[in-house]
Amino acid sequence: MWLSVVVLVHVLLLSNSVESQSIIDTLPGFPGKLPFKLETGYIGVGELDEVQLFYYFIESERNPKHDPLVLWLTGGPGCSALSGLLFEIGWIILSPFTFDYANSSGRNKPTLELNPYSWTKIANIIFLDAPVGTGFSYATTWEAYNSNDTSSTTQTYEFLRKWLMTHSKFLVNPLYIAGDSYSGITIPIIVQEVSNGNEIGHLPPLNLKGFVIGNPLTHEIWDINARLKFAHRTALISDRLYQSTKRNCQGRYINPDPNNTQCVEDLREVNECVANIYIGQILEPNCAIESPKPNKLWSLSPHLDDNFIDTLHSTPDQVLEPWCRYYNYLYSYIWANDKSVQKALHIREGTIADWTRCNRSLAYTDNVITSIDYHQNLTKKDLRALIYSGDHDLTIPYTGTLEWIELLDLSIKDDWRPWFVDGQIAGYVTIYTEEKYSLTFTTIKGGGHTAPEYKPKECLAMIDRWFAYYFL
């Protein structure tokens, strides 16, 4: 009885933070009513709710009452949740719709079509624009726009508690924190906060079961250094150059000693070999409008130059050759900045100047060097983890991910073996355990950064089986 009263009081207090919450029945570009339940809204977090985080929530198309509840965070930092909804690039295919490119060209408004491999077919998903300044999220003071890894994770945890207070029917659903790319830094911290909060009695108690991260960043230097080994394994550099670079640079490939002339020369040769490789998926064309970067292999971001959108806007009806995946993303700028779309989504007028898929001017400080220590702490918890990597991703290669997983010193329950979709190998899986903790690592064959944009069918099969405790 006492607990019920406390929960009711918290609901009354926290519900004031949800200043808008709307059910969306139709969207510009989609014919008729949406065949799934879409809700959008803002929740205020931080001191005086000065940070207003925008979210999209889609109920599972299968069984909302029993299917998992997933909080999804796109990477970046600063990449909008809408990117996950519409593409899942660098970052997985969770969307219930994708752009119908065949019927959308130039300045015409893009049209939408259903995505048969949406993760919302088997899970309830909250797509969150975080940190502040991402997507449609905004702050009411200039100071509140300044954020970092630790403040952002605290705000995300606060958001989740407040959201569940106003959606209490999902409190019993298994909860998973999920995301990709840069979210590999923040998700383990959020999971740690949720776990600690449950232990000390924060309300409401969250039914945390685990976390999912695709192509995860865990340590910038570690992950970028792993590109040399990946480039060698995929025949982008020769055996001779690989061995020479290892020997002369002694593992220091980022900002090497300028007096180490042999290392500098080796790295120059390495960069010459990969200069025209699209590091997001090494088999796809490299965008012609991307400026050459002399140290491309040792730069974290695969993003294009700032003139990318201007270039595409200036020639919207021309076919750019060769085709590059980034060209598709122009449609999201056209659609999300359309006033009728923003009205349909119930975006607060005047809160942002322009929607951008990934906000590169974010006032954000990456103050957590590595999340590996958090992963180590989580191995002592009763949790499940799924880590997956597109095996053609040079941005954050699977080679580095496997190396930090090995550092956790877990027991191997099921060693490297293939798993299948439609009778074909979809990837290779290893399952690790430590008492009540389990970690599943898998590659997605042919996937890039991140995997579901490239292999949506295989990734849906992966997450569906893993949620069902059957893998793979």
Q: From CA 449, how far away is CA 451, in angstroms rounded?
A: 6
Per-residue pLDDT, 419: 97
Question: What pLDDT score was predicted for residue 2?
Answer: 31
pLDDT value at 131 more than 50? yes
Residue 54, pLDDT above cutoff 60: yes
If one compares 254 and 470, the residue with the highest pLDDT of the two is 254
Average pLDDT of 42-47?
95
Q: What is the pLDDT of residue 108?
A: 62
Does residue 158 have a pLDDT over 70?
Answer: yes
Q: Residue 86 has what pLDDT?
A: 82
Neighbours of 358 (CB within 10 A): 21
Q: How many CB atoms lie within 10 A of CB 417?
A: 10
Query: What percent of the chain is modeled with pLDDT above 70?
Result: 83
pLDDT higher than threshold 50 for residue 95: no
Nearest to 195 by CA among 157, 169, 163: 157
> Which one is catalytic: 129, 149, 393, 438?
393
In this model, does residue 292 exceed pLDDT 80? Answer: no
In this predicted structure, what is the pLDDT of residue 305? 38
β-sheet bridge partners, residue 52: 44, 138
- Mean pLDDT, to the nearest integer, of 351-379? 94
What confidence category does residue 287 fall into, taking pLDDT thresholds of 50, 70 and 90? confident
DSSP result, 143-202: GGG-EEHHHHHHHHHHHHHHHHHHSGGGTTS-EEEEEETTHHHHHHHHHHHHHHHHHHT-
Task: Please tell me which residue in 60, 181, 371, 438 is annotated as part of the active site.
Answer: 181
Q: How sure is the predictor about 303, in pLDDT bands with cuts at 50, 70 and 90?
A: very low
Q: Is the pLDDT of residue 304 over 60?
A: no
Mean pLDDT of 190-205: 96
pLDDT at residue 299 in the model? 63
Beta bridge partners of 389: 443
For residue 334, what pLDDT is reported?
84
Quote the pLDDT of residue 293: 47
Mean pLDDT, rounded, for 74-82? 91
- Report percent pLDDT > 90 for the chain: 70
**Residue 31: its pLDDT value, please?**
85
Average pLDDT over residues 54-75: 95
- Over residues 321-339, mean pLDDT: 79
2-219+368-467 domain in CATH 3.40.50.1820?
Answer: yes
Contact 231, 272 (CB under 8 A): no
pLDDT at 102: 60
Domain positions in the chain are 2-219+368-467
pLDDT at position 96, please? 47
Q: What is the pLDDT of residues 381-424, one digit of tens each?
A: 999 999 999 999 999 999 999 999 999 999 999 999 999 999 99
Highest mean pLDDT among 7-11, 241-245, 251-255: 241-245
Tell me whether residue 181 is one of the annotated catalytic residues.
yes
220-233 and 398-407 are packed helices; what angle lies between their axes, rounded to 10 degrees? Answer: 120
Q: Is 449 a catalytic residue?
A: yes
**pLDDT higher than 60, residue 164:** yes
Q: CA angle at residue 207 from 202 to 212, to 5 degrees?
A: 115
pLDDT of residue 10 exceeding 50? no
Model confidence at 306, pLDDT cuts 50, 70, 90, reads: very low
> Is residue 92 scored above 80 in pLDDT?
no
Average pLDDT over residues 443-459: 94
Residue 19 has pLDDT above 80, yes or no: no
Q: What is the mean pLDDT of the chain?
A: 86
Flag whether pLDDT at 347 surpasses 50.
Answer: yes
Nearest to 323 by CA among 163, 115, 101, 120: 101
DSSP state letters, 83-114: HHHHT--SS----SEEE-GGG--TTSPP-EEE
